[in-house]
Structures are given as C-alpha cells and as structure tokens.
Amino acid sequence: MAIETSPQASSAPLVRMHGVHKWYGPHHVLVDIDLELARGERIVVCGPSGSGKSTLIRCINRLEAHQQGVIEVDGVEVNDRRRNLQHVRHRVGMVFQQFNLFPHLSVLENLTLGQIWALRRAAPEARARAHAALQRVHVAALADKYPARLSGGQQQRVAIARALCLDPQVLLLDEPTSALDPEMVKEVLDVITELAAQSGVAMLCVTHEMGFARRVADRVVFMDHGRIVETNTPEQFFQAPSSPRAREFLEQIL
Ligand code: ADP
Ligand code: MG
C-alpha cells in the first residue's frame, strides 16, 4: 500500500465520479456522470461513437479536465493541484486504442522509461520488472525489438505490460482491440482476461467485445450523448437491456 493512503481507503471506492460535467466549447460531452469503481472491480463501458466514453476515462487520469463535479482516485480529487496529478498517475495505468508506444525506443526502454522517471526506480530494478511484465503478457522474447517490427497485437500487449510496470491499482483501457486486425483481437483480450483472473487490478474498459465483457465485467455501463443511460450486469445487458437506446445500439452491433 502506498504511504499516502488514508486509513479508510480500503473500503472507499477506488474511483468516484459524482455529478461530473465536461464541455468542449459549447459541446456538452459529459452530462452529470455518477460512477464508482470499487477496488478490484471490472467495468465495461460501451455506447455509440461520440457518446463520451474516451472523454470519461481520460478525465479519470486527468488527460482531460472536467469542469463540474467531483472525480476522486483513491480519495483525492484529480482536478486539484500538481501533487494530486502524481497521486493519480501512480495509481492509474492507461492503455490506448493506438498503443502509443515510443517508436524510437526498444520494447524494454518503453517499459523502463516511466518506471525510472515517474517512480524513480533504479534502472536494474526497472529492467527486471519490465522483463517480468513482458512475460505476463507472453512477449518475453520481444524485449530488444522496436515497436515498428511488431504486429498490432504484440504492440498492444507491450503497451499493457508498460502499464503494469507502474503497479497500477486500476487499468483504464480505451477500445484496446479496435485498431487491431481481427485475428489479433483474441490474443489481446486473452491477456486482459488472464490479468483480470490472476491479479486484483481494477479495470475500466471501453469495448464492444461482448464475449469479453461477459467473461470479465462485473458491470456494464452504457453511455449515450454524454450520459450514463444504463448500468447493468453483463448477462442482463446483452440479453435484455432495460433502456430502449441500449437495445437499439445492440441491434446495430450484433
Ligand atoms: P467516444 O469515445 O464515445 O467515441 P469521445 O469521448 O471521443 O466519444 O467524444 C465525445 C464527444 O466529444 C464527441 O462529440 C467528440 O466529437 C467530442 N470531442 C472529443 N474530443 C474533443 C476535443 N479534443 N475537442 C473537441 N471536441 C471533442
Ligand atoms: Mg473513444
């Protein structure tokens, strides 16, 4: 446990969003969002393109700022001060749709950079942890390769390993398989499923992969036009969603 963690922290939600609003200019992209993620909980977020899914998760680790309401990570408001940004980034790992690996760095260097700069780990320890993380996502042999030499599926597994190296309490995954060729989707989803089964890391994952959501998610959150329209179990959501808008959406993607 990190030293700043308050005594009541273990029972409090890891992520708490309350009454959150965000605008891009006149465009209201998050509307009165209430969402809590418990420690170790897995939530899948889905909804039509433009509904605010990426914005929601980018606000949690402060890649975007919200204008109204509260977003707390492990009890600390993310919008406050610089110190809080560090608090957040030490707890939250991010996996992007487009992998976002540094092209001029080897796989190993991609994994050690954040550990050395953000966590101030010594290089030998950072390398040891990087190798361990690569093993967890079954790409141990790729440590010395450059991202451009890897398949999309391998790059995304490296990106997941990079996030894991920072020992996050929660992983935010924004459509981690939607930029992949179909034959690579499974290897990435399998790695995330394995992580969910073998570690206590909480996850907030934007995806429309229904089989994955059924296997991994404790809850499914459906968004439309910046609002959370429905929160449900995966079974209920995919079989019999309660909101007409979710029903319509599922008919389109099935
Ligand atoms: P989703 O991930 O569900 O497709 P986004 O969160 O990316 O949706 O976008 C929500 C809305 O905000 C969309 O209408 C999008 O066009 C708009 N938007 C996203 N990013 C920006 C930005 N940087 N500037 C202005 N508008 C944005
Ligand atoms: Mg998006």
Whole-complex ipTM: 0.98
pLDDT in the model for residue 82:
66
Pocket flag, ligand 1, residue 50 (CB < 6 Å): yes
Pocket flag, ligand 1, residue 51 (CB < 6 Å): yes
pLDDT in the model for residue 3:
43
- pLDDT tens digits along 155-188: 999 999 999 999 999 999 999 999 999 999 999 9
Asked whether the CA dihedral 173, 198, 129, 186 is positive or negative, the reply is negative
Question: Beta strand pairing status for 202-206 and 219-224?
Answer: unpaired
Of all atoms in ligand 1, which is nearest to the CA of residue 55? 6
**CA of 52 relative to ligand 2 center, distance in Å:** 7
Residue in the block written with tokens 């204008």: 67
pLDDT in the model for residue 11:
74
73: burial class by Cβ within 10 Å (0-12, 13-18, 19+)? buried
- Cα of 221 vs its chain's centroid, Å: 14
Pocket flag, ligand 1, residue 156 (CB < 6 Å): no
**CA of 218 relative to ligand 2 center, distance in Å:** 21
Pocket flag, ligand 1, residue 178 (CB < 6 Å): no
- pLDDT tens digits along 198-237: 999 999 999 999 999 999 999 999 999 999 999 999 999 9
Ligand with smallest separation from the Cα of 227:
1
Question: CA torsion angle for 128, 133, 138, 140 (degrees, to 10)?
Answer: -20
Where the chain has pLDDT below 70, the residues are 1-10, 82-83
Of all protein residues, the one whose alpha carbon is nearest to atom 20 of ligand 1 is 55
Q: 178 φ, ψ to 5°?
A: -80, -10
pLDDT in the model for residue 4:
45
Pocket flag, ligand 1, residue 29 (CB < 6 Å): yes
Ligand with smallest separation from the Cα of 58:
1
Q: Radius of gyration of the chain from Cα atoms?
A: 18
Pocket flag, ligand 1, residue 26 (CB < 6 Å): no
Which pTM does this prediction carry? 0.93
Pocket flag, ligand 1, residue 22 (CB < 6 Å): no
pLDDT in the model for residue 10:
65
Of all protein residues, the one whose alpha carbon is nearest to atom 14 of ligand 1 is 50
Task: Round to whole Å and give the CA distance between 112 and 127.
Answer: 6
